[in-house]
A and B are shown apart, each in its own frame.
Chain A
Amino acid sequence: MSKSIALLCIQATDEGRTIAEAIKVDNEGIQITNKPAMIQIEREGEIVIKADTVSDALGRDWEPEELQLILISTGGQIDEDDEQFVVYWNN
């Protein structure tokens, strides 16, 4: 049986678009859909947002807690530390 699909929706701002690009780098097979004002990101099992990758993409230091500024919604459980923000299902 395939794993459940983790979901992350972020605002379609300049920063949001850059972060979505950065998420692609670390999440193979991810699906990104543009909706009005919103970027919908889906991936089987989990979506990992790594602070290092996002910092590189933005050209400045970025902390996972800053995701709150562009976050709309998540479908999954959340695990957050200084290095990364993970949305995942445990099944």
Chain B
Amino acid sequence: MSSSTSPRKKRLSKKQSYEYMTRLGWDTTYQDEKKVHPYLEYEGIKIHDWDAWEDPFRMTMESYWKLQAEKDKKLYSIIDAFAQNNGQKNITDARYVNALKIFLTAVTPIEHNVVSGFANVARQFKGEGATIACQMQAIDELRHYQTQVHTISHYNKYFDGFHDYRTMYDRIWYLSVPKSFADDGSSAGPFEFMIATGFAFEFVLTSLLFVPFMSGAAYNGDMATVTFGFSAQSDESRHMTLGLQAVKFMLEQDADNVPIVQRMMEKQLWRGYRLLSIVSAMMDYMLPNSPTSWAEAVELYIEQNGVALFKDLEKYGIKMPTKILDKIIAEKEHVSHQLWKTLYVHSNATAFHTWIPDEDKMNWLSQKYPNTFDKHYRPILEEYKKKAEKGERYYSEALPCLCQTCQLPLLFTDVMNGKPTVYTHETTEFNGEKFHFCSDECKNIFENEPKKYAQAWLPPYQIFQGNCGGETIPEVLKWYKIENAVDNLDYVGSPDEAMWNKLKNI
């Protein structure tokens, strides 16, 4: 009757439990394998030997749980301390929170999308190593999603614009940019999902997003964000390893895979870069203290790291995507200003505030962008400032024409051809309909898969088709669940500003 008398429950040895936990790469016996793994041939990638995929995570499984638990413990102790000490009062300025509004409403739902994406790819791939690695990454991504929701929850108590991030992600025009990137990857086959997320986003681009912006969060007193950011980013070294391993695996398995992988890599590099262009405005304009400019981040993470990575892949037959890299480099001195200008004039239809940078910030921008800021962008900002001082703060009443591929407004100019004041506007026809693009690169992506991108859900067009609550801005805002003059418009005069000034006795 007592437990000491009952036989001790038999447990699996470590070795056995490890074998059972990872025994997922079986061959089918009573079902046709093509029915069980229907997407393995969908993209034309040829895999001859799934066992050749050595999972780098599998060997460290035992320590994985221990380390992740330790990381989470550290993270939540800092997030708790931030909440208990009213950490939101110690940030540099409430303007800063608007960068967070963009980050948390755009990135958090993507993290969630990637959880299901990796769970799905784990199911679709056949190899044991691949399956385990993808499952573990899905768990990591769930952790990132949760930590970001906890950060939203804290800021939502004090600032506007965080109240319904999930609905906003599905509806608001600027959030269709990250959504379309995530949906594009999820609706591709498993190999392209892997390249979109594991390679382009994790390897080439997350550093550009998480590292300098999070360091900037620390510089502005936001310990909650820097903590979840760095903690998430530390998982990325594993995710990068997986992404790169997937690419090498595809390239080694069959020479026919090389051109397919090359096309997917170039497409996803460009898509990821376009998506991240909004981060340029967050770093250069929205951080009151900016430790790094967008141009400096591009130099480190694209010109240095990105190029090094492609050089490493040259021995597998991959060619350096010179045209794309040259364009990213040429645009590095322009995009943050072009993005900020666009957000400023359309902030009557956003869930965050914008403002004209003060003189100190303008001078910082002149110093960081000696070739472009004073010449092209300062005069425009000065003009907006004069109008605002006269009580005529400028908001656009028109809806922007969006790029059919990346879904950003056509806000980029032809800097590659020495025409920085001429907007780039490419078009193509498909099924008797005309489609518009922000760049050659986005046009090429469309022309490779026109049936896919012709279906894209573009907010302005949906508004005019009557699918978004009406055609006027108040009707659309209501449908977006944005409260006019509370969540949107200029920072000056906003409830956020009033709350902050009261808090700081200004």
Q: Does B345 contact A (CB under 8 A)?
A: no
List, in ascending order, chain A residues with CB within 8 A of B216's CB. Answer: 36
List, in ascending order, chain A residues with CB within 8 A of B292's CB. Answer: 35
List, in ascending order, chain A residues with CB within 8 A of B304's CB. Answer: 4-5, 7, 75
Task: Give Cα distance in the complex from A78 to B57, angstroms.
Answer: 12
A78, B241: Cβ atoms closer than 8 Å: yes
B237, A74: Cβ atoms closer than 8 Å: yes
Q: Which of A1-49 contact B (CB under 8 A)?
A: 4-5, 7, 9, 11, 35-38
Report the nearest A residue to B235, measured CB to CB: A68
Task: Give Cα distance in the complex from A78 to B309, angstroms.
Answer: 12
B237, A78: Cβ atoms closer than 8 Å: yes
Which of B41-49, B63-71, B159-167, B355-363 forms part of the interface with chain A?
A: B63-71
State how many residues of chain A have any CB contact under 8 Å with chain B. 26
B71, A36: Cβ atoms closer than 8 Å: no
Report the nearest B residue to A12, measured CB to CB: B218
A89, B63: Cβ atoms closer than 8 Å: no
A9, B211: Cβ atoms closer than 8 Å: yes
Are A11 and B230 CB-contacts (below 8 A) given A35-B291, A36-B216, A65-B60? Answer: yes
List, in ascending order, chain A residues with CB within 8 A of B300's CB. Answer: 7, 75
Report the nearest B residue to A91, measured CB to CB: B311
State how many residues of chain B have any CB contact under 8 Å with chain A. 37
Q: Does B233 contact A (CB under 8 A)?
A: yes
List, in ascending order, chain B residues with CB within 8 A of A69's CB. Answer: 67, 70-71, 74, 234
Q: Which of B226, B241, B311 contacts A89 (CB 8 A)?
A: B311
Q: Does A58 contact B (CB under 8 A)?
A: no
Report the nearest B residue to A70, measured CB to CB: B234
Task: Give Cα distance in the complex from A35 to B70, angstroms.
Answer: 24
List, in ascending order, chain A residues with CB within 8 A of B234's CB. Answer: 68-73
A76, B215: Cβ atoms closer than 8 Å: no
Q: Which of B71, B210, B226, B311 contacts A73 (CB 8 A)?
A: B210
Q: Does B389 contact A (CB under 8 A)?
A: no
Task: Give Cα distance in the complex from A26 to B305, angstroms.
Answer: 22
Are A4 and B218 CB-contacts (below 8 A) given A73-B210, A78-B241? Answer: no
Complex A-B, nearest 7 residue pairs according to Cβ-Cβ distance, in ascending order? A4-B308, A37-B218, A36-B219, A75-B305, A91-B311, A36-B218, A71-B234
Chain B positions within 8 Å of A, measured between CB atoms, are 60, 63, 67, 70-71, 74, 206-207, 210-211, 214-216, 218-219, 226, 230, 233-234, 236-237, 240-241, 244, 291-292, 300-301, 304-305, 307-309, 311-312, 314-315
Chain A positions within 8 Å of B, measured between CB atoms, are 4-5, 7, 9, 11, 35-38, 63, 65-66, 68-78, 89-91
* CB<8 Å pairs between A and B, sample of 5: A38-B230, A72-B234, A77-B312, A78-B240, A89-B308
